[in-house]
Structure 1
Amino acid sequence: MDAPAPLRDCQAWKDAGLPLSTASNEACKLFDATLTQYVKWTNDKSLGGIEGCLSKLKTADPNFAMGHAISNGLVLIGTGSSVRLDRELDLAVKTMVDIAQAQPLTRREQLHVSAVETFAKGNFSRACELWEQILWDHPTDMLALKFSHDAYFYLGYQEQMRDSVARIYPFWTPSIPLSSYVKGIYSFGLMETNFYDKAEKLAKEALSINPTDAWSVHTIAHIHEMKAEIKDGLEFMQRSETHWKDCDMLACHNYWHWALYLIEKVLPSLKASGAMLDVVDSCSMLYRLQMEGVSVGERWQDILPVTQKHSRDHILLFNDAHFLMASLGARDPQTTQEILTTLQDASEAPGENCQHLLAREVGLPLCQALVEAESGNPDRVVELLLPIRYRVLQLGGSNAQRDVFNQLLIHAALECTSGVHKNVARSLLMERDALKPNSPLTQRLIRKAAAVHLLQIQGEEHRERGCWGPSPPATSIGCGDPGQAPASSCWSCPVIESGTRRPSDHRLGTSTTKPAAVFRRPC
């Protein structure tokens, strides 16, 4: 493992080509300490944590513009507060701008201040343009790199997230502090754009230098998830846990990738941190378990107090959807209505806020689909989600995080009663299987689809013969139910079989495995 680099003073920042407009060496070192902890996803107790460093930084030089930029930027990038509702944050951003205008700053510093101010207004894409302007001339400016990377993530701009790092990666030589972490940042963008082999290679290089690089661990966890390498993923997370579990700003999210096995580790971590990433992960995990037919008990009630205070934030539509999961799961109609009403209001007066502009066409239909799912209206869920499924990417988050919405659409399609939607589930599952073969989740959903189809056929035939009344509801056989029907080719899906399954053979029509027998249909 690399020894930690000494914190940089005024001269060191100048030597790096990144001069800071302050005469305080202490302020410069505290700026470096804050930046380092942000990149490493950890609050270093020996440094006093990020909040401790920022507090001492402002004391060391109250007029240090870049100190204000990193302080406000970190609050905003956390998406837990907005200048629209938080007066203290609004004042802090205005103070930052006033301080910047009252002194001669470098162009780089001016762009940093402008980018944070623009991000505060909700114009994330314009803020990214400003950070990119910095990186054109200063490719080793880690703050611009990290802020733009996170903002691209929120925007769902996967190619930009990858390419913004690709452009500057050659400039990061091993002698530059934090250079190994750039490998991990780059690897995540590569992974999100399906360059799995290159992403894994870079992430492993980063971990060979710093095994505690939680973001590189996170990339590899995603790769195993996207390639349905469940056993390898579990072994990797277990093997590496001691290295990343103390990275408090990302540990809960890494445990989320382990969530089905470690549910009891996630909720205590959420309550301890309250970080927005941990909040949405916990909501997503419970919602996925619920869709799988797992009873989550009173856990929605445990999460609701954390999400409830953000009901009016509307900083990210991705967050809003997860807050809604919590209020619906906890059966709190008042909070549910508050989220929907205030989001509707925000969409009607969006200004330059990119999320509010997107709310009408994507955010509100998605939220309404969650409500309809809770109300037992699967056909309406499909009507709302199907037209926007390719636009959900614009909400941000990773492919793995957004998959909860894909799963919602498939579950709803499986329960549809309308003839218009009878083949939607089949089509979605064939698509999913083609993109992610051998996924246990997809196989469970395929088995459920076959069982639902056979129950419907039984009901139709029995009614025709006058044997019994309506067919059992489609929900009577849950996903993964031990009593589920054997799969059958009568569902007209070439990937449905109960024996040995060879996805590529089935899709090519060259399978040598015989279809399983369908249910006997006694009258």
Structure 2
Amino acid sequence: MRDAFGSEHAVADATATGAFAAAVQALASHRPDAGAHLEAALRAAPAMTAAHALAGMGGILLAGRDHLAEAAARLQRAQESIGRSGGGTAFERALVSALDHAVAGRLRAAANVLDDFLYRDPNAFLAIKLSHALRFMTGDVDGMVSLTARLSLECERSNAGYGYLLGCHAFGLEEMGRLNEAERVGRAALNIAADDAWGLHAVAHVFETRGQNAEGSGWLETHRGVWTRCNNLSRHFAWHLALFALGRGDHDCVLDIYDREVAGDLDGDFRDFANAASMLWRLRQAGVDPGVARWQALSEVAVRHARGTTLVFGQLHFLIALLGAGRLDEAADLAEFIHENGRSTTDQANVSRNVGAELAFALVQAERGAGPQAPVGFLARRLHRLGGSHAQRDVFLQALAGMAYEAADDVGLRQVLAVRRRHKADDRPVTDWVSRTN
């Protein structure tokens, strides 16, 4: 039985299939009720393989060690249900195989499984959305765009996920620097799916990359009715709004947005914490003191959760919160933790070995007044391996540029700025640094 998003199920139960489609709709539009719809699907059809697998993938995307345990349990249930259904559909088999890789820490392999399946069935929107999310988490922009470029042509326009597919494509185009195309495709996505948060997000990134702060703020305020209904992505949109205010030099506005819309309950998704930590760090880079109390509140969350996220990207945001609060010994311990995690064979261990540990140590050394041991240009060129967006990783690029500036390392500063200028117009405090290299 196939639903409106192209998901094919072995279970022929209209109630379960409808609830599953509602979960996919919620995932596509980043609404908070995807889990409730999945549970409704499983109440109607306990053997619905895709519902078990998608619930497990939800745990993977949350990137927490406790969520990973739940994902493993969901994987076992999915494997049991697919066995009882005689092997399930090709769609279900692809989801279960991808989840198997993801639970083992092989996120890119999981995305590859989904991509291979999509060559046979380009209308399975959920596989597209999950592959895109996994590749975003692992910094594989080329993989994101090659997938969505092909499927934007091959997926049927009547598919309920087509507008959301365009939103995914727009985001990848922006990350590749194809800004005009990204803006056009992102706007087209919203014309098809008015609640497409990711297409809205992609266009916001275009304005951020160009340094169009007034236009970016206007875009987000115009569409506030869309993004405020999102799950925790709503806090990320607020972060973008604060970022535009920071670009305008309106620091009071930044702190107001931070307090009202960014720094709420930060004990949940690590992305919420990353929004908050990076915004305070950016203020500090701009010479603005956000206050001891804000840093202290962040550092308490960091102490509780720094070792609970499975992504180096998240761990580094916990680390800068500790540094901002002056908790240097705890930050150094976290840097050692990131280094030790590089000893395993997962994708993220590779990230630790290639950039994460050295960046962590460099940040700690800089806070202690010592120059980084690794060349800053080398680290800047590898930052994309952390995953996330250029806008998110810019907090680390700015930190590296600051290290080079303080060390009078003109060559290193030029190297860092060369990386940054591929995806961001010069702004403050970069314009202050540039004079050293001229």
What amino acid is the match of 1:264? D
Task: Select the residue among 389, 400, 406 that pairs with 1:398.
Answer: 389
Task: Select the residue among 39, 45, 65 that pairs with 1:55.
Answer: 39
Query: What is the CA-CA distance between 1:423 and the residue it aligns to?
Result: 4.4
Task: Select the residue among 140, 165, 168 that pairs with 1:185.
Answer: 168
Task: Select the residue among 298, 301, 306 that pairs with 2:296.
Answer: 301
Q: Which has the higher helix share?
A: 2
Task: Select the residue among 121, 126, 129 that pairs with 1:146.
Answer: 129
CA displacement, residues 251-283 of structure 1 (integer Å, 9 cap, x when unaligned): 111111121334333455453473232221211
Distance 1:108 1:325, change over 3 A: same
Aligned equivalents of 2:258, 2:306: Cα separation in 1: 22
What amino acid is the match of 2:335? L
Aligned equivalents of 1:183, 1:88: Cα separation in 2: 31
Match of 1:209 in 2: 192
What amino acid is the match of 1:369? A
Aligned equivalents of 1:96, 1:363: Cα separation in 2: 33
What amino acid is the match of 2:12? A
Match of 1:315 in 2: 310
Match of 1:512 in 2: none
1:274-423 alignment runs, 5 A limit: 274-297=268-291, 298-333=293-328, 335-348=330-343, 350-351=344-345, 353-377=346-370, 379-380=371-372, 383-416=374-407, 421-423=409-411
Secondary structure of 1:257's partner? helix
Query: What is the CA-CA distance between 1:208 and the residue it aligns to?
Result: 2.6
Aligned equivalents of 1:87, 1:245: Cα separation in 2: 30
What amino acid is the match of 2:402? H
Match of 2:101 in 1: 118
Q: Is the 8 A contact 2:91 2:117 kept in 1?
A: yes
Task: Select the residue among 440, 456, 461 that pairs with 2:427.
Answer: 440
Q: Is the 8 A contact 2:5 2:21 kept in 1?
A: no
The runs of 5 or more residues in structure 1 that have no matched partner are 1-9, 44-48, 451-490, 494-523
TM-score (norm 2): 0.89
Aligned equivalents of 1:89, 1:77: Cα separation in 2: 10
Task: Select the residue among 21, 28, 32 that pairs with 1:39.
Answer: 28
Query: What is the CA-CA distance between 1:179 and the residue it aligns to?
Result: 1.7
Task: Report whether the alignment pairs 1:254 with 2:244.
Answer: no
Aligned equivalents of 2:422, 2:42: Cα separation in 1: 54
Task: Select the residue among 66, 72, 92 that pairs with 1:90.
Answer: 72
Higher alpha-carbon deviation: 140-149 or 206-215? 206-215
Q: Is the 8 A contact 2:209 2:423 kept in 1?
A: no
Distance 1:205 1:27, change over 3 A: same
Distance 1:124 1:435, change over 3 A: closer
Match of 2:222 in 1: 239
Q: Is the 8 A contact 1:311 1:320 kept in 2?
A: yes
Q: Is the 8 A contact 1:76 1:82 kept in 2?
A: no
What amino acid is the match of 2:321? A
CA displacement, residues 116-162 of structure 1 (integer Å, 9 cap, x when unaligned): 11111111111111001111111111111011001111121111101
Q: Is the 8 A contact 2:135 2:141 kept in 1?
A: yes
TM-score (norm 1): 0.75
Query: What is the CA-CA distance between 1:338 and the residue it aligns to?
Result: 4.6
CA displacement, residues 182-234 of structure 1 (integer Å, 9 cap, x when unaligned): 11111111111111111111111122334432211211111111112222222
Bigger RCO of structures 1 and 2 (CA < 8 A, at least 6 apart): 2
Distance 1:276 1:428, change over 3 A: closer
Aligned equivalents of 1:91, 1:300: Cα separation in 2: 37
Q: Which of these two proteins has the greater Rg computed from alpha carbons?
A: 1
What amino acid is the match of 1:440? D
Q: Is the 8 A contact 1:116 1:127 kept in 2?
A: yes
Secondary structure of 2:46's partner? coil
Task: Select the residue among 48, 56, 59 that pairs with 1:64.
Answer: 48
Match of 2:255 in 1: 263
Match of 1:519 in 2: none
Distance 1:16 1:33, change over 3 A: closer
Aligned equivalents of 2:75, 2:255: Cα separation in 1: 38
Aligned equivalents of 1:389, 1:448: Cα separation in 2: 16
Query: What is the CA-CA distance between 1:429 and the residue it aligns to?
Result: 4.4
Q: Is the 8 A contact 2:207 2:213 kept in 1?
A: yes
Query: What is the CA-CA distance between 1:408 and the residue it aligns to?
Result: 0.7
Query: What is the CA-CA distance between 1:432 and the residue it aligns to?
Result: 4.9
Match of 2:81 in 1: 99
Distance 1:118 1:229, change over 3 A: same
Aligned equivalents of 1:177, 1:445: Cα separation in 2: 44
Match of 1:500 in 2: none
Distance 1:315 1:430, change over 3 A: closer
Query: What is the CA-CA distance between 1:344 and the residue it aligns to?
Result: 2.9
Q: Is the 8 A contact 2:139 2:385 kept in 1?
A: yes
Higher alpha-carbon deviation: 392-401 or 248-257? 248-257
Aligned equivalents of 1:290, 1:227: Cα separation in 2: 23
Match of 1:425 in 2: 413
- Aligned sequence identity (%): 27
Aligned equivalents of 1:130, 1:294: Cα separation in 2: 46
- Count of residue pairs the alignment pairs up: 425
What amino acid is the match of 1:358? V
Aligned equivalents of 2:421, 2:70: Cα separation in 1: 49
Match of 2:249 in 1: none
